[in-house]
Structure 1
């Protein structure tokens, strides 16, 4: 059992795989366990989950700097990006980063039969190329190696331009302080750095961006129980009108996890996480990067780390380590011994 930032985690030493799946606090585990017990005893009602769903909406907005009334609830990032991709005009030009996570790129690539064109450029070239496209879709932090897009340069590049911007915060929200209320679309999922169950994701839509067609319109997006039967179509105002019917237990866990994260000083969390990662970089002769994700070169790095009992991932030919708030210098020492051994 580890205690970090006042929270308790039943996480083993050497767990450095948060970029794949985060480990919940004991408080989040208890909240989900209690909800499962109530459900298992026949005590759950659909409306019982509304408070947690609304709390998750508000808390995600707070963590990415977006007003809660813009935020829609979903289950996966690709599902939410797909709403935006399906609503692009025929022939639209989309800019993405090379080797971007495919939940960001595939929904746009799937529109090729309508003439939608997707261009890949190096991450560093995104701001420079942005104004030549109708939409830029990019992760704030790259999944494979933890590189950060230059948000200020991107914002400046599209200022007073018709180019829209979609940002994926999946590898950023939970450790990186952000204010993304300027972006047209902000998506993110809960099961990595937000330490929530899989099945909780969100989309924040800027009020000045074109409102996408709610091709997945459903009773929940209509505003609740008064829209469960019959026509005409009902759509709640703001982000609620793009909701998917929530994954109930995932929303319970997301609300519990994000309440804890939102109460922390994220500047301190960022300093902790990136400090551990940059210590590994320094020992390996790599430059500091200000990211909690470290891509360790070497054909056998992932094997050596796994043999030492370190939980990590193999990505793009490198071993990917991810340091979150529950990691310590002890984990860094384990990594360095494994790689030097």
Structure 2
């Protein structure tokens, strides 16, 4: 991963991929080219759309899907909201207690659903015959804990439940191309290092049929250029019916970022990231884990403050300190973070 590290300008001490990713050289260049073309009056809607289609292909690679199964958008919660809005009143929705709100709030806002919150480790076992939807993050934002996606998928299938999984905290550092779910949604601004405003989702045939495209607009037609005006409803037959008009400038950078990620060996990226994360855990006296996110109790914020003072970019979530290790990091970052924390005596998961 040494070559990958050299692509990033601000990687030293940056342990915050789980909050905001860094742009690689190719992404920075793509954003500059887009700005220059826009400023010079050379930017065109047709060129932006062509770039979006290339990005759709990269997203398909990352999620193990076909391009026609990929919808492009701007936020995870909007995709979740489409699923929630399509849920029949009275449906039971199973969610993870303490999950990121984008996977929970749309179902609560529906007002007519029975939303049941269960611990992450019990998610598969809690799927019941009456469960209609299962919504969860593959990697938990607050703790970095990883769900047993295979077990959840099997349980959902047995119950006939529609499974929705968010890979925003996973895609980019670990393989996410073998998930058995009806909707797999991801925002690209974290581990993928894309500009914020570029999200995508893979829809199964069942989801395409059962989810109503309430956000349908001119970009939801099979050919957006012929579906710009009413009075007819123009909907593509595939997952692009869930497309919204793209944030062009964001997708100019996202195309490059997703292309780079799709070219990497995600098993090798995971091995690199986990080696650093587990070296850091060992330095704190914590057990090894299978997550690139390391989180520990920090109720007063003292540990986060110590990291920040030492020049380490970290984050705090739900009364916990949180760091993440990615391709721009190396063992020097581990040492830097551990040195900042050594004066503090006790750490507990």
1:19, distance to aligned residue in structure 2 (A): 0.5
Aligned residues: 338
For residues 319 and 54 of structure 1, the distance between their equivalents in structure 2, rounded to whole angstroms, comes to: 38
Give the corresponding residue for 2:74: 75
Give the Cα separation in 1 of the matches to 2:201 and 2:237: 14
Residue 28 of structure 2 corresponds to which residue in structure 1? Answer: 29
Contact 1:83 1:213 (8 Å CA) reproduced: yes
Q: Residues 141-176 of structure 1: CA distance to partner in whole angstroms, max 9, x if unpaired?
A: 000111000011112212333111100000000111
Q: Which residue of 2 aligns with 1:327?
A: 329
What SS is found at the alignment partner of 1:127? Answer: coil
Alpha-carbon separation, structure 2, partners of 1:264 and 1:56 = 15
CA RMSD of aligned residues (A): 1.5
Contact 2:144 2:292 in 1 (8 A): yes
Q: Is 1:185–1:206's contact at 8 Å kept on the other side of the alignment?
A: yes
SS of 1:119 mapped into structure 2: strand
For the structure 1 residues 245 and 320, does the alpha-carbon distance in structure 2 shift closer, same or farther, using more than 3 Å as the test? same
Please say if residues 60 and 258 of structure 1, whose CA atoms lie closer than 8 Å, have aligned partners that are also in contact: yes
Residues 182 and 206, structure 1, Cα contact 8 Å, conserved in 2: no
Shift of 1:323: 0.7
The offset of 1:94, in angstroms, is 0.7
Offset at 1:3? Answer: 5.5
How big is the shift at 1:181?
A: 5.3
* Map of 1:43 onto structure 2: 42
Return structure 1 stretches of 4+ with deviation > 4 angstroms. none
Using the TM superposition, give the Cα deviation of residue 7 of structure 1 relative to its aligned residue in structure 2, in angstroms. 5.4
Task: Give unmatched runs, 5+ long, in structure 2.
Answer: 344-349
Provide the residue aligned with 1:119 in structure 2: 116
Q: CA deviation at 1:50?
A: 1.2
Distance in 1 of aligned mates of 2:51 and 2:127: 37
Tell which deviates more after alignment, 242-251 or 60-69: 60-69
Normalised to the residue count of structure 2, the TM-score between the two structures is 0.93
Aligned to 1:253: 253
CA contact (8 A) 2:150 2:179 kept: no
Give 1:44-193 correspondences, 5 Å limit: 44-112=43-111, 115-132=112-129, 133-180=131-178, 182-193=180-191
TM-score, scaled relative to structure 1: 0.96
153 and 339 in structure 1: CA distance in 2 versus 1, 3 angstrom threshold:
same
* Kept in 2: contact 1:147–1:291 (CA 8 A): yes
